[in-house]
Amino acid sequence: MTPPRVLIIAGSDSGGGAGIQADIKTVTMLGGHAMTAITAITAQNTLGVQAVMPVPAETVLEQIDAVLSDLGADAIKIGMIGSAATSDAVAKRLESLAGIPIVFDPVMVATSGAVLADAGTIASFERLMAVSTLVTPNLPELEVLAGHALADLDDIEEASADLYRRFGCAVLAKGGHGSDEGITDMLVWESGTIRQYSKRVETQHTHGTGCTLASAVATGLGAGLPLDRAVDRGVRYVHDALLAAPGYGLGNGPIGHALATTPYHHLKAAAEGGDWGVETWDALWSPERARH
């Protein structure tokens, strides 16, 4: 099957745990082809965000147009948007697209606590929500979008349903910021509400979970999965990646996108085992062959 083409509109994370870097890893691991339009460059690590430089809105649009005019896209994921001007410009451009599922992760604050969207940018999110298939806020983000505190799951469901009624987008309210022992993710969409419970992984290495989940769902939608199945697969992937976190950094470290595997190593092992026919791996990749 041809890999689904996923255009990622998001910021760069120099530490590799979140943002564009996490998105590319996720899309690749789930069988897609990742393409990017970078909205901001950040200097950050597991301890926090040291600097942010937004990319001009015109340059973001040029990246989007370059990708869509040639490669096309089967799904689009939006993460850190950078500025209100970029948010409005991207929304206007995406309004002209039809039939491409769009997943919007309304990034406001990094896991470390750094603010990644000012009040003006957050106010502009309404236009992005209106063009999105799915919006994936965590609990603090949903409270900002709803305009009030949310005390329990019923409040979360009502706030999500209100966004669905107002903007026509399905809402995946992520439960990782809750205080319960387990995590309840809630999907509110045209078929009603699905509450999905999973065990909480006790780890400080959670950087990039939101980016990863949104990109995982976008990849599933790009491959033709129905929304509920794409969400279910995405949640499972994040859970497994948390279990496989490599433990890097002194703070909130990255999750294990590769799931503790080394794909190239397995490819080599398969070749040595004869899966590639009569030719051995050494014959396939000999220096003499490479020169031809």
The set of catalytic residues is: 174, 206, 208-211
Angle between helices 19-29 and 209-222 (to 10 degrees): 40
Structure-token match 């897609």, residue found: 32
Q: How far apart are CA 251 and CA 287, in angstroms?
A: 43
Q: Please state whether beta strands 48-54 and 33-45 pair in parallel, antiparallel, or not at all (unpaired).
A: antiparallel
Output b/e per residue, 269-278; b: 16+ Cβ within 10 A. eebeeeeeee
C-alpha to C-alpha distances, 32 to 2, 197, 199, 219, 256, nearest whole angstrom: 8, 27, 27, 6, 18
